[in-house]
Amino acid sequence: MSIDRQSHLKRLEDESIHIMREVAAEFHNPVMLYSIGKDSSVMLHLAMKAFYPSKPPFPLMHVDTTWKFREMIAFRDETARRLGLELITWTNAEGKAAGVNPFDHGSSYYTHVMKTEALKQALTHYGFDAAFGGARRDEEKSRAKERVFSFRTETHAWDPKNQRPELWRLYNARIHKGESIRVFPLSNWTELDIWQYILAEEIPIVPLYFAAKRPVVERDGMLIMKDDDRLVLKDGETVQERLVRFRTLGCYPLTGALESDAATLPEIVREMLIARTSERSGRLIDHDESASMEKKKREGYF
């Protein structure tokens, strides 16, 4: 099964491929940020299409907080091997040495150190001048106004008031040394588009998206999976086997499961269409403050 050549998915696919080819042609040292989630899976699949029969002319990079689900890491390594792509992994060594973790340091500080800072370290270390991210404009309000080619200063900062106008398909890729561009080829996709495309193109995704019996703990109104022994139970908490799945994937202590029996892609899509909670509410980090995404993005978060 593949997508209808006249459909809106085909148009979105074409647009994403166009964007990726511009980056490959205009930048010296691009990288694709690979977060292992469904959006990254779609982005990677599009990259394989964009350069076929060549391989994508850039490596994948995963910023590993050391708190990802084990199944994600296994899937990541298997994907890179299956596609024959170079995979770079990066962990904030100082943060790790200092023992920064989501339990003791709060999700906001932890995310800043192990994700935002780690990403900036990695980009600087490798001197990447363009970095693909899988963010979509429908995810969040400040994302809705971000460019496809999003300019970052030498310190990786984003200035929402000083964005370059972006017209037609003409992306301005000019930067000075040290500056960089974050590129969002999935800008115009919605969550539903992503799922429909995964279904139509039979793109492999991490099994955590499908419902299964998993050990979870109820904490702060969320179901947190006990993925390893680092999750220490608090008083009154018990581990229960429940039929759950994940709508988004991230660090397991910060990612809420939802109770579901959707075990196939059509069931997931159907569940999504009648869902009454939007996507990012499964992630603790956005609850911290209003306009938190805009603030994080200014600081260099994807």
Partner 1 sequence: MAELAIAEKAEAFVDYLAAQERKGLLRFLTCGSVDDGKSTLIGRLLYDTKLIFEDQLAALERDSRRHGTTGEDIDLALLVDGLEAEREQGITIDVAYRFFTTDKRKFIVADTPGHEQYTRNMATGASTADVAVLLVDARHGVAVQTRRHAFIASLLGIRHAVLAVNKIDLVDFDQDRFEEIRADFECFAEGLKFDTLVSIPLSARYGHNVLGRSDSMPWYEGPTLVEHLETVQIEDRVGDQPFRMPVQWVNRPDLNFRGFSGTIASGAVHVGDSVASAVSGRTSTVARIVTMDGDLPEAGAGDAVTLTLADEIDVSRGDLLAAADARPDVADQFSAHLVWMSDVPLFPGRPYLIKIGAKSITASVTEIKHKIDVNSFEQLAAKELHLNEIGVVNVSLSAPVAFDPYERNRDTGAFIIIDRQTNATVGAGMIDFALRRATNIHWQALDVDKASRSALKGQKPAILWFTGLSGAGKSTVANLVEKRLHAMGRHTYVLDGDNVRHGLNRDLGFTDADRVENIRRVAEAAKLFVDAGLIVLVSFISPFRAERRMARDLVGADEFLEVFVDTPIDVCRTRDPKGLYAKADAGQIKNFTGVDSAYETPEHAEIRLDTVAATPEQMADEVIAELRTRGLIEV
186-195 b/e with 16+ CB inside 10 Å = b? bbbbbbebbb
Residues in contact with partner 1, shown as a per-residue x/- string from 16 to 55 under the rule CB under 8 A: -xx--xx-xx----------------------xxxxxxxx
Answer yes or no: are the C-beta atoms of 68 and 251 closer than 8 Å: yes
Q: Does 114 bind partner 1 (CB under 8 A)?
A: no
Name the minimum Å distance from CB 302 to partner 1: 16
138 is a contact residue toward partner 1 (CB under 8 A): yes
Say whether residue 218 binds partner 1 (CB under 8 A).
no
Answer for which of 157, 261, 270, 289 binds partner 1 (CB under 8 A) is: 270
User: Where do runs of H (alpha helix) occur along the chain?
Assistant: 8-26, 38-51, 70-83, 93-97, 106-111, 118-126, 191-201, 265-273, 292-299
Q: Count how many residues are written for the chain.
A: 302
Cβ neighbour number for residue 40 with a 10 Å cutoff? 24
Helix (H, G, I), strand (E, B) or coil at 92: coil
Question: Segment 154-183, which members bind partner 1 (CB under 8 A)?
Answer: 160-161, 163-170, 172, 174-176
Q: Nearest Cα to 237, choosing from 216, 251, 253? A: 216
Told to check if 204 binds partner 1 by CB under 8 A, we report: no
Using CB under 8 A as the binding rule, whether residue 125 contacts partner 1 is answered as no
- Select the residue interacting with partner 1 from 196, 248, 255, 260 (CB under 8 A): 196
C-beta separation of 240 from 216 below 8 A: yes
Residues in contact with partner 1 by the rule CB under 8 A: 2-14, 17-18, 21-22, 24-25, 48-55, 137-138, 140-145, 160-161, 163-170, 172, 174-176, 187-188, 190, 192-193, 196, 199-200, 264, 266-267, 269-270, 275-278, 281, 290-291, 294
